[in-house]
Amino acid sequence: MDTDHITDLWSRVVGAQPAPSLWLVIATGVLALGTVVPRTAWRLSRNAVTIAHEGGHGLIALVTGRRLDGIRLHSDTSGLTVSRGKPTGIGMVLTAAAGYTAPSLLGLAGAALLASGHITALLWGATALLLAMLVMIRNAYGVLTVVLAGAAFFLVSWLTTPHVQAAFAYAVVWFLLLGGVRPPFELMGKRRRGSAGDSDPDQLARLTNVPAALWLGLFHVVTLCSLIGGGQWMLGL
């Protein structure tokens, strides 16, 4: 690849693309909602939220100086991230708190990129994050789901028209923002039934002596505020 091609590729990635029409933004939001609300669709689409959830645990573990041993993703949409380091302290607290907030915060960051016209940068950035996560996956199902997700982002960014890229990017960001809201509500229901005794809020309660209900409330605040803020950015409000 010569210098001109490299320059063109770099300009394509970091440059801004024209904003799509408002109807496309709304249509992709409705499409994303259709993958989150119906129970049947959610059973499949929740795998993508799990990737973001466990990826959030893993990323913050590394940022805070912990050693990341591996990530597992399971077909029942559960996951497990294992890290080593000091069992208490701010690093462990942030790592435990990152999971339920990660999909929504990633969606919020994606909405900021889309609002500034950086559609291709979002697609390539997502591909890079999934590739980095793939190195830490420790089971076959996890490898399959991350490879398929990464391939989808790459192929869309490389082979499709700008209009298709925009539709895909907006649908993904809407999905992260909407899909990030549902898991805390699901966890709240499980805790009421007494079937989530070792959930992230319970681990945080043991680490901080702050009640698990308050941590769960924080997750609700982060996910709902991210949806409102990210939605406003993408709709141009």
Cα(99)–Cα(13) distance, rounded to whole angstroms? 28
Burial class (CB in 10 A: 0-12, 13-18, 19+), 33: middle
Q: What is the pLDDT along the chain (237 residues), one digit of tens a residue?
A: 566 556 665 666 666 778 899 999 999 999 999 999 999 999 999 999 999 999 999 999 999 999 999 999 999 999 999 999 998 899 999 999 999 999 999 999 999 999 999 999 999 999 999 999 999 999 999 999 999 999 999 999 989 999 999 999 999 999 999 999 999 999 999 888 877 778 999 999 999 999 999 999 999 999 999 999 999 999 998
What per-residue confidence (pLDDT) applies to 2?
60
What per-residue confidence (pLDDT) applies to 8?
61
195: number of Cβ within 10 Å: 10
What per-residue confidence (pLDDT) applies to 106?
97
Coil, strand or helix: which one is 36? helix
Cα(179)–Cα(185) distance, rounded to whole angstroms? 11
User: Among residues 116, 79, 127, 113, which one has the least CA distance to residue 99?
Assistant: 79
What are the tokens at 97?
């708190």
Q: H-helix or E-strand containing 25?
A: helix 22-36
* Torsion sign, CA atoms 32, 34, 38, 40: negative
Q: Which residue(s) pair with 67 in the sheet?
A: 84
